[in-house]
Amino acid sequence: MSLLKLDGVLKRYEGVTAVDHVSFTVPDGAIFGLLGPNGAGKTSIIRMITTITRPDAGEIYVSGQAVGRETIGKVGYMPEERGLYKKMNVEDHLLYLARLKGLSKADATRALDYWFDRFSIETWRTKKIEELSKGMQQKIQFIATVVHDPDLIILDEPFSGLDPINTNLIKDEIYELAQRGKQIVFSTHRMEQVEEICDYIVLINKGKNVLEGWVKDIKQSFRENLYEVKVDGELDDSVLQAYSLRDRTRGGAYVVQLPETKPGNALLSDLVGAGINVTSFREVLPSLNEIFIRQVGDYNPVLETV
């Protein structure tokens, strides 16, 4: 069963259609990436999943249930702009947020113990939020997002401002949660992160779902039969004539486009046959970044109304 499904969701703000009949179904077990330029409607969609706002039409299903009061406890949300009460201490704050999600005091305390131990931050319990560094605060925010053991975890730019160590820490947590069957929804502009982490993506532009699918499949579908090859020395023009040279990278590698019919092996055997020493050979699939730009093109971002 899909943990997140949108069906014909529509949302308007003051005459502007922020979300235009968007539908998608996230496959079970896939780490999901919700992508799009600023103002595309991602935030609006996320806000409807988290019950902050309601769609004007269409339905959203979390764990098979229509979004409403009952799904509040099933969703964890870490907004792009982090926010915590500065003057509260860590323990009280996390307890407060956990209980607002519906946990009993006993369950919340137990969950907190687990996370304090897991992150080894026992000593932070009585510290005030304002005493913590930014990175520390984000770790607390992350705990607040998952403390109530939600089925659906929405992370909006979760790594922004984190140093590499903390980034890895959160990344590991994300993988572990996904492994345990939680649905991760990842929202970001950073395509490298998406490629690394996400399995399934939806690209939103101007309120519409313009691209959806498994990352691997999408990259495959946009492939242009490009190969990158590194050799000792230089390649002769004669060799290159059979193929169209796309690019010469700074590292000295050649990026070559093969005609549709020819497999990559053909280039390799050609080179080897010509006695050239090949030091590196790989297919170049388009990056999501490129796909993104190509899809969105010369977009006019809608001014962010919400």
Partner 1 sequence: MDKILLIIKREYLTRVKKKSFLLATILTPLGIAAFMVVASFIFGYESDEAKRIAVVDQGGVITGGIKDEKNIKFSQYSGTLEEARAEAVDGDFDGVLVIPEQSNLYTKDVQVEYYSEDGLTLDVEGVIRDRVRDYIRDYKAEQLGMDKRSLDALSFNTYVEPEPLIEGGEDTSKITGAIGAGIGTLMGFVMYLVIFIYGMMVMRSVQEEKTTRIVEVMISSVKPFQLMLGKIVGVGLVGMTQVLVWAILIPLIVAGASFFFGIEPPQADASAAGGMNPEEAENMVLLAIQEIQNQNWWAILPLFLIYFLGGYFLYASLFAAVGSAMGEDQGESQALTIPITIPVVLAIYIMFAVVQAPNSTLAMWSSQFPLFSPIVMPARLAFSPPFWEVALSITILIATSIFFIWLSARIYRAGILLYGKKIGFKEMGKWMISG
Q: Footprint of partner 1 on this chain (CB under 8 A)?
A: 47, 50-53, 72, 75, 77, 79, 81-88, 96-97, 99-101, 141, 144, 306
Residue placing its CB nearer to partner 1 in the complex, 53 or 188: 53
Provide the minimum distance between the beta carbon of 52 and partner 1 in the complex, in angstroms, as a whole number.
5
Helix (H, G, I), strand (E, B) or coil at 86: coil
Q: Look up tokens 């050649």; give the residue.
A: 254
Provide the minimum distance between the beta carbon of 87 and partner 1 in the complex, in angstroms, as a whole number.
7
Phi and psi at residue 64, to the nearest 5°:
80, -5
Provide the minimum distance between the beta carbon of 101 and partner 1 in the complex, in angstroms, as a whole number.
5
Residue placing its CB nearer to partner 1 in the complex, 88 or 266: 88
Residue placing its CB nearer to partner 1 in the complex, 156 or 258: 156
Provide the minimum distance between the beta carbon of 141 and partner 1 in the complex, in angstroms, as a whole number.
8
Provide the minimum distance between the beta carbon of 157 and partner 1 in the complex, in angstroms, as a whole number.
13
Q: Where are the alpha helices (DSSP H) in 26-149?
A: 42-49, 90-100, 105-118, 134-146
Helix (H, G, I), strand (E, B) or coil at 43: helix
Kindly report each contact of residues 24-27 with a partner whose C-beta sits within 8 Å and lies 24 or more positions away, as own/partner.
24/202, 24/209, 24/212, 26/2, 26/183, 26/185, 26/200, 27/2, 27/199, 27/200, 27/214
Residue placing its CB nearer to partner 1 in the complex, 84 or 271: 84
Residue placing its CB nearer to partner 1 in the complex, 187 or 285: 187
